[in-house]
């Protein structure tokens, strides 16, 4: 019999094998200072493009004041216990009601964490007789939720409506045999590439197939639509989303999440979501803080306007300089380059040390081998000066990547890995 840990000692995984070279710098980096457009990294000021603080609320003085007052009034423990037992309050209900009204749904229910809540919601919505059809590029929380499903599931090609239709045909035949139903899952905005889910086209398929639609709108909530109610509002199909999900970790710059939909569906979920039934209630200071943030989202449209001023300046500037930013339709700004993992390490180190630009780096296995993705997240706190400095920096690193500078610099990394 093998030692359970033998595989761990033998194979650290596609990312883990780089830990000795990458940890503390490329992965698990430590940004310091107040959350803003410019922070400190290893003692140096950098323009920060890796914080999902879309509306700039994380360090807003009004938000910090309310957060501090709530912490002083309630501490970090209240209320104690799960919602069903002893952790339910009027303010939890108030936040739920305001969130539901904002995203134009009958009811909403708070979740402690987005990832945990997504996994648990999928688990609660389906039984073994049901079939799940979901986008192949769905976020890890969706994939993990689907893994809990004991019935059949199909993936469709990313944002490919024809592929979705073919899989709905397969799912419909299977549902007729099992006596179950069909759940389609998409994202409002795919957080790595920035593309919006094709919600309008998916909804149109309801005329032909009998399914329910669940949308993860983590990156769309607060950034898309006339009021900021998300991708569904922006595409004119919010009413046709059966279960709407969003997190507080992006536009609201906090911790927590919520689901929204018809009251009867939300009532069912709040009695069957294991992650909420058997977990401590969302702390009051977070609830009070979320109420303040939601109010600012509703009453301060200038925050979203400034965000999009920065988004448009950054994305148009990159495209004008010949950079490939894919087909993003959101604030998420990916820049695609060609290179190896060691080249990517050399490039990012140059970008941070010599240009003062901090953005996230994504490599294989998240994207195909030979590709480097630099992911930038504009926020309302960025300035046009930040944008211009970044555009100049990207021109510099592209030149060095293309003339082989990073390939030469990465030789030491490859030698250390024995490759």
Ordered by start, the domain boundaries in the chain are 5-54+301-417, 61-299
pLDDT band at 25 (very low <50, low <70, confident <90, very high): confident
Q: How far apart are CA 159 and CA 224, in angstroms?
A: 18
Question: What is the gyration radius of the CA atoms in the chain, in angstroms?
Answer: 22
**Secondary structure of residue 19 in the 3-state scheme:** helix
Burial class (CB in 10 A: 0-12, 13-18, 19+), 105: buried
* 23 SS3 class: strand
Average pLDDT of span 332-341? 91
pLDDT beyond 90 at 24? no
**Collapsed DSSP state (helix, strand, coil) of residue 106:** coil
Percent above pLDDT 70 for the chain: 97
- Give the pLDDT band of residue 53 (cuts 50, 70, 90): very high
Mean pLDDT of the chain: 93
Mean pLDDT, residues 81-107: 95
Which whole number is the average pLDDT over 219-240? 97
Q: If you average pLDDT over residues 368-391, what whole number do you get?
A: 94
Q: Tell me which CATH code domain 5-54+301-417 carries.
A: 3.90.1150.10
**pLDDT given at position 119:** 94
- pLDDT band of 11, cuts 50, 70, 90: confident
Q: Which residue has the higher pLDDT, 27 or 55?
A: 55
pLDDT at residue 305 is higher than 80: yes
Q: Does domain 61-299 have CATH number 1.10.10.10?
A: no
The predicted model scores a pTM of 0.93
* Alpha-carbon gap, residue 75 to 415, rounded angstroms: 52
Total Cβ atoms within 10 A of residue 154 = 19
What pLDDT, on a 0 to 100 scale, did the predictor assign at position 374?
A: 95
Say what the pLDDT of residue 84 is. Answer: 86
pLDDT at residue number 237 = 97
- pLDDT tier, 413 (very low <50, low <70, confident <90, very high otherwise): low
104 or 344, which is more confident: 104
Lowest mean pLDDT among 12-21, 77-86, 97-106: 12-21
Residues 154-207 pLDDT 10s: 999 999 999 999 999 999 999 999 999 999 999 999 998 999 999 999 999 999
Sequence-distant (≥ 6) Cβ neighbours of residue 139 within 8 angstroms: 118, 187, 190, 191, 216, 218
Question: Residue 214: pLDDT above 80?
Answer: yes
Mean of pLDDT values over 63-72: 96
**For residue 49, what pLDDT band results from cuts at 50, 70 and 90?**
very high
In this prediction, residue 219 carries a pLDDT of 97
Question: What is the per-residue pLDDT for 412?
Answer: 63
| pLDDT of 416 over the 60 cut | no
């Amino acid at each position: 019999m093998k030692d359970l840990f033998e595989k761990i000692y033998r194979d650290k995984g596609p990312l883990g094998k780089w830990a000795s070279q990458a940890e503390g710098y490329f992965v698990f980096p430590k940004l310091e200072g107040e959350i803003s457009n410019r922070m400190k990294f290893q003692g140096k000021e950098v323009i920060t493009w890796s914080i999902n603080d879309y509306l700039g609320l994380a360090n807003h003085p009004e938000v910090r004041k309310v957060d501090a007052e709530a912490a002083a009034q309630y501490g970090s423990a209240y209320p104690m216990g799960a919602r069903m037992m002893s952790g339910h309050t009027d303010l939890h209900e108030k936040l739920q009601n305001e969130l539901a009204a904002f995203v134009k749904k009958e009811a909403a229910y708070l979740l402690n964490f987005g990832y945990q809540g997504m996994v648990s919601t999928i688990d609660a919505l389906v039984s073994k007789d049901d079939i799940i059809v979901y986008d192949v590029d769905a976020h890890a929380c969706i994939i993990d939720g689907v893994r809990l499903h004991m019935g059949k599931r199909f993936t469709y090609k990313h944002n490919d409506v024809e592929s979705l239709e073919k899989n709905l045909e397969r799912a419909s035949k299977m549902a007729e045999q099992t006596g179950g139903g069909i759940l389609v899952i998409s994202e409002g905005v795919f957080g790595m590439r920035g593309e919006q889910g094709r919600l309008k086209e998916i909804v149109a398929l309801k005329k032909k197939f009998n399914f329910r639609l669940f949308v993860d709108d983590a990156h769309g909530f607060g950034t898309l639509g006339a009021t900021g109610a998300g991708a569904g509002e922006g595409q004119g199909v919010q009413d046709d989303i059966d279960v709407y999900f969003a997190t507080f970790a992006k536009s609201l710059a906090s911790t927590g999440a919520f689901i929204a939909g018809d009251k009867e569906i939300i009532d069912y979920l709040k009695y069957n979501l294991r992650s909420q039934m058997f977990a401590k209630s969302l702390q009051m200071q977070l609830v009070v803080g979320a109420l303040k943030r939601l109010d600012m989202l509703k009453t301060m449209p200038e925050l979203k306007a400034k965000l999009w001023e920065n988004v448009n300046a950054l994305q148009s500037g990159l495209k004008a300089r010949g950079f490939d930013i894919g087909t993003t339709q959101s604030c998420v700004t990916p820049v695609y380059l060609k290179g190896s993992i060691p080249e990517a390490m050399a490039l990012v180190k140059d970008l941070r040390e010599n240009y003062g630009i901090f953005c996230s780096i994504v490599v294989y296995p998240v994207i195909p081998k030979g590709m480097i993705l630099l992911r930038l997240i504009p926020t309302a706190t960025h300035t046009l000066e930040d944008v211009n400095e970044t555009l100049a920096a990207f021109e510099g690193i592209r030149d060095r990547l293309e003339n082989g500078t990073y390939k030469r610099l990465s030789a030491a990394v490859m030698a250390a890995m024995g490759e």
